[in-house]
Amino acid sequence: MRKELLDDIGEKELINRLGKFMPKNQTSDDCAFIKTTNENLLVNSDCLVENIHFSDLTICPKDLGWKAVVSNISDLLSSGSKETIGITISLILPAKTEWVWVEELYKGINKALKKYGGIILGGDCSKGNQKTISITALGIQGELKLRRNACSPGEIILTTGIHGLSKLGFMVQNKINFNNNISLSKRLIRKSIAHFCRPQVYPNFLTNIIKTRSDSKITKIGCTDSSDGLLQAVQDLAFASNCKAIMNYEKIPKDKDWPEGDKWDEYYFFGGEDYELVFSLPKKWAKKLSRLDQNVTEIGFFIKGEPSIEFKDNKKNKLLNNTPFKHF
User: In order of start, what are the domains of the chain with their CATH numbers?
Assistant: 31-141 (3.30.1330.10), 145-321 (3.90.650.10)
Report d(CA 71, CA 199) in Å as an integer: 8
Residues of the chain with confidence (pLDDT) below 70: 27, 180, 324-328
Identify the pLDDT of residue 327.
59
Identify the pLDDT of residue 104.
98
> For residue 311, which amino acid is it?
F
Identify the pLDDT of residue 207.
94
| Beta carbons within 8 Å of 224's beta carbon, 6+ residues apart | 29, 30, 78, 148, 233, 236, 237, 277, 278, 279
Report d(CA 224, CA 161) in Å as an integer: 14
Identify the pLDDT of residue 325.
63
Q: Categorise residue 122: left if φ over 0, alpha if ψ from -120 to 50, beta otherwise.
A: left
pLDDT in tens, 94-131: 999 999 999 999 999 999 999 999 999 999 999 999 99
Identify the pLDDT of residue 15.
76
Identify the pLDDT of residue 60.
97
Identify the pLDDT of residue 75.
96
In 3D space, the residue among 163, 161, 116, 156 whose CA is nearest the CA of residue 135 turns out to be 116
This prediction has a pTM of: 0.91
Identify the pLDDT of residue 20.
77
Q: Is residue 86 within 8 Å of residue 120, measured between CB atoms? A: yes
Identify the pLDDT of residue 27.
66
Identify the pLDDT of residue 160.
97
